[in-house]
Amino acid sequence: MEKIISYPLSILYAIVFLFWLLIFHPIQLVCYHLLGYNAHRLSVAYLNMFLLRTSHILGTSYKIEGREKLPTNQPLVLVCNHQSMHDIIPIIWFLRKVHPKFISKKELGKGIPSVSLNLRIGGSALIDRNDGKQALAAIKKVGEYINSNNFSVVIFPEGTRSKTGKPKEFAINGLKMLYKFAPDSYFVPISINNSWKMNKFGSFPVGLGTQITFQIHEPLKVSDYSFEEIFEKTEHTIKSYIK
């Protein structure tokens, strides 16, 4: 029954979602070229606010806990498990004050209105999964960027999203580069639950009535740990809160 009801709601959701992407594409361009970094950053944040509110059509709700734990005016490495694209929109909106950038596969850097544009011009890293040298160089660059500007970067060390919510093994290399080239940063473990349920029927239709939760854990100052210690502690903390 849920799947049947979801078809018309998912069509409406997709239309409104695409509308916001198309509207904010030129807004981003104007902000970036004429008004500067902060205007562009806010245009992206408000785009994601509208996208997040659009998901209410599907009965989706969000709960985020622990924002008060985030250090201010410090570079942050936001380490998250990955369940769906619906992980990303709430992070951009709810954590907008820490200027989140992303480590993303290069394929997303073209073809998607607003999204691809922001990935290209907003300070994120676009990596080629088939070219390890290029990927590590791009991660190094974004690590240095957040370290110099007290911004944050989001990394999903599972690489690909979990379609069932069950966490996958964390890859080491990306986190190791950020540990090395953002030495003033904090690793911030974040556990995401239930966003996979939005795609429990596949890419279409979309699941209904999902409550997506984000648990922000205690930040770990990079300089206080060896890489092996901080990697193990981060992975264990995230996975221990995944239901």
CATH classification of the domain holding 32: 3.40.1130
Contacts of 159 (CB under 8 A, 6+ apart): 82, 129, 168, 171
Q: Which domain holds residue 145?
A: 2-240
Residue 116 pLDDT grade (very low, low, confident, very high; cuts 50, 70, 90): very high
- Within 10 A of 142 (CB to CB), how many other CB atoms are there? 26
Residue 30 pLDDT grade (very low, low, confident, very high; cuts 50, 70, 90): very high
For tokens 């970067």, what's the residue? 153
Look at residue 222 in the predicted model and tell me its pLDDT.
Answer: 97
Q: Is the predicted pLDDT of residue 102 greater than 90, yes or no?
A: yes
* Cα-Cα-Cα-Cα dihedral sign, residues 53, 97, 186, 218: negative
Whether the bond into 167 is cis, omega within 30 of 0: no
pTM over 0.75, yes/no = yes
How many helices (H) and strands (E) would you count in the chain? 7, 8
Average the pLDDT over 68-97 and give the result. Answer: 95
Is there a contact between 159 and 171 (Cβ–Cβ < 8 Å)? yes
Average the pLDDT over 60-85 and give the result. Answer: 95
The radius of gyration of the chain from alpha carbons, rounded to an integer in Å, stands at 17
User: 242: helix, coil or strand?
Assistant: coil
Amino acid at 134: Q
Residue 165 pLDDT grade (very low, low, confident, very high; cuts 50, 70, 90): confident
Number of compact structural domains in the chain: 1
